[in-house]
Copies of this chain bind each other. A is one copy, B any other.
Amino acid sequence: MARMNPLAPEADVDLDIAVLAIGDELLNGELADTNTAAIGRLLNAHGYRLREGRTVPDDEAAIIAALRELASRHGVVAVTGGLGPTRDDLTARAAAQAFDRPLVLNDEALALIRAFFRDHALEMEPRNEKQALLPQKCTVLPNPLGTAPGFLLQEGRCLLLFFPGVPVEMQAMAEAELLPRLEALSGDRPPQCERILKIFGLSEPRIESLLDGQPLPTGVAIAFGVDFPLVHLKLRARGEDAEERLDQAEVLVQRRMGDFIVARGRDTLAQTVARLLTAHGLSLSLAESCTGGLVAAWLTEIPGASAFLERGAVTYSNQAKNDWLGVSKRILHEQGAVSEACARAMATGLRQSTRTDITVAVTGIAGPDGGTDEKPVGTVFIALSANDAEQAKGYRFGGNREQIRKLSACMALEWIRRYLMERAQPKS
């Protein structure tokens, strides 16, 4: 995925890139800023590094100060947000002020806004014209997915690109407008290459211990990240043979903890499972109680999930477990809906009635209520049924409701992954 030019000489410095995210909603807790991460991901995939992120409210003085400060220290600044039609959208005016330019009605921007409304058969509100008020002598950046055009300013040695804050619009524009300009600026410098290995079931210190006494190839650095409940192990290198050294490092890591690596790069655990199911040509059905459809929702995020997902049941009530999964009233009465016997009956019952190749069941107590001394909050049972396997097991997970649900859903996917890894290789 990384853009490589292994023959170019190693550069002294990278392009120094920062993101400025603008919006009250990013600082008052309404929304987490995802644009910085999205730009970081795009840059990383193409061998560039984001050096700094900054977030300021819809406050003209704060925006002006941040723009000036970032432009004085960075080569490229990507700005997101505040280009909308409403009163609290102040970015264009602040940019004009920050760099002592008049704010003028930009005919090109106005034409783009009009065309967007015409093409989408929408009525243009007069206030949408405000979105064409831009700093003088800027370059207009078209926004194919929304009404707010972006713009570009060159201030001294800094290139500033202004994008709307709506993530899908920002992302399309960053790909179309930011990347080509970075490529033009960076010439032939060799970028940093990175591999991300996503690990489920080992803590950071445990991973570091496993890697001790296992020297990595020269110049390969490791770093960690957490995306609960996964730990991300990052291998990085730069220079001529970076990809080869990373290949070697990956082999070493694989040897120490291969079983725990559940996904690589931008993939998720759900994508690993989807790919394995597709490669094996096997179908899957799900019976979810405490995860309430989370496993199904993760899998169906993936385009083409209909190729392997036959169906899913969110069986919150005992009646549903009896009707759709054939769990006997005796099990529900004697051992309870949260029991190994129930999980097993859910998986086998679903497989018998649907003739799916693999079925997985999750039942547990996600909390905050519903726990007992015998079955406290976090008690979760998972079962898998296939023509050559019947497995069921109980866990006691820690954490709050959200964490218990996520851990349970990941563990259910992990059972499918391990089952498929242990089978003979697919014939493809």
A: residues with CB less than 8 A from B are 21, 23-34, 36-45, 49-58, 62, 66, 84-88, 125, 127-128, 165-168, 194, 196, 204-206, 208-209, 222-228, 232, 234, 286, 288, 290-297, 299-301, 303-306, 309-317, 319-320, 323-324, 353-354, 367-369, 399-403, 405
CA distance A37 to B50 in the complex (A): 20
Q: Decide: B369 and A303 in contact? CB cutoff 8 A.
A: yes
CB neighbours (8 Å) of A40 from chain B are 26-30
Closest CB in chain B relative to A214 CB, distance in Å: 14
- For the complex with contacts A31-B226, A309-B316, 14 further pairs of A-B residues with Cβ separation under 8 Å are A24-B223, A25-B234, A26-B37, A27-B49, A27-B53, A28-B234, A29-B39, A33-B37, A51-B56, A52-B62, A292-B299, A292-B300, A310-B317, A320-B354
CB neighbours (8 Å) of A306 from chain B are 316-317
CB neighbours (8 Å) of A50 from chain B are 27-29
CA distance A52 to B55 in the complex (A): 6
Q: Decide: A225 and B86 in contact? CB cutoff 8 A.
A: no
Given contacts A196-B30, A297-B294, A400-B168, whether A25 and B316 have CB atoms under 8 Å apart is: no
Q: Give me 10 A-to-B residue pairs in the complex whose CB atoms sit less than 8 angstroms apart, sorted by A's number.
A: A25-B225, A26-B37, A29-B43, A30-B40, A127-B205, A293-B294, A293-B300, A294-B297, A301-B401, A309-B314
Given contacts A55-B54, A204-B86, A316-B309, whether A166 and B33 have CB atoms under 8 Å apart is: no
CB neighbours (8 Å) of A43 from chain B are 28-29
Which residue of B33, B38, B85, B354 contacts A319 across the interface (Cβ within 8 Å)?
A: B354
CA distance A314 to B300 in the complex (A): 10
Q: Decide: A226 and B400 in contact? CB cutoff 8 A.
A: no
CA distance A161 to B37 in the complex (A): 24
CA distance A297 to B291 in the complex (A): 7
- The secondary structure that dominates the A interface is mixed
CA distance A184 to B87 in the complex (A): 35
Closest CB in chain B relative to A161 CB, distance in Å: 17
Given contacts A26-B37, A31-B37, A311-B317, whether A52 and B53 have CB atoms under 8 Å apart is: no
CA distance A324 to B353 in the complex (A): 11
CB neighbours (8 Å) of A226 from chain B are 25, 31, 165-166
Most B Cβ at <10 Å: residue of A168, A292, A401: A292
Which residue of B227, B316, B320 contacts A300 across the interface (Cβ within 8 Å)?
A: B316
Closest CB in chain B relative to A200 CB, distance in Å: 15
CA distance A303 to B38 in the complex (A): 31
CB neighbours (8 Å) of A402 from chain B are 301
Q: Decide: A368 and B303 in contact? CB cutoff 8 A.
A: yes
CA distance A297 to B292 in the complex (A): 5
CB neighbours (8 Å) of A52 from chain B are 27, 54-56, 62, 66
CB neighbours (8 Å) of A369 from chain B are 303-304
CA distance A369 to B304 in the complex (A): 8
CB neighbours (8 Å) of A87 from chain B are 208, 222
Closest CB in chain B relative to A339 CB, distance in Å: 16
Most B Cβ at <10 Å: residue of A36, A66, A223, A293: A293
Q: Decide: B125 and A205 in contact? CB cutoff 8 A.
A: yes
Given contacts A225-B24, A311-B324, A320-B311, whether A36 and B33 have CB atoms under 8 Å apart is: yes
Q: Decide: A26 and B36 in contact? CB cutoff 8 A.
A: yes
Q: Which residue of B lies closest to A205 (CB)?
A: B125
CB neighbours (8 Å) of A310 from chain B are 316-317, 319-320
Q: Decide: B208 and A127 in contact? CB cutoff 8 A.
A: yes
Closest CB in chain B relative to A402 CB, distance in Å: 7
Q: Decide: A30 and B232 in contact? CB cutoff 8 A.
A: yes
